[in-house]
Amino acid sequence: MSAEGEESFRSRLAARDQRALAELVDVASPWLLGLVQGILDDPDEAEDVVIETFRIAWDKVHHVDAGSRGLVPWLLEVARNRAIDRVRARRRRARLTERLAVLGTVQATTPAQEPDEAARPGWHVHREVHRALSELPDEQRTTVHLAYFEGRTHSEIAERLEIPLGTVKTRLRLGLGRLRQRLSGLKDWVT
Residue-wise pLDDT tens digits, 129-147: 778 888 899 999 899 888 8
Higher pLDDT, 64 or 32: 32
Give per-residue pLDDT as tens, 35-93.
898 888 888 899 999 999 988 888 887 776 655 667 778 888 899 999 999 888 888 88
Domains defined for the chain, CATH in brackets: 1-87 (1.10.1740.10), 122-191 (1.10.10.10)
The reported pLDDT for the residue numbered 121 is 54
Tell whether the model's pLDDT for residue 108 goes beyond 80: no
pLDDT in tens, 151-188: 888 888 999 899 999 999 999 899 888 888 887 776 54
For residue 190, pLDDT beyond 50? no
* Residues 175, 74: Cα–Cα separation, whole Å: 17
Residue 156, CB half-sphere, CA atoms under 13 Å: how many?
Answer: 13
What pLDDT was estimated at residue 79? 92
As to burial, measured by CB atoms within 10 angstroms (0-12 exposed, 13-18 middle, 19+ buried), residue 109 is exposed
Closest-CA residue to 140 (of 161, 117, 159): 161
- Indicate whether this model's pTM tops 0.85: no
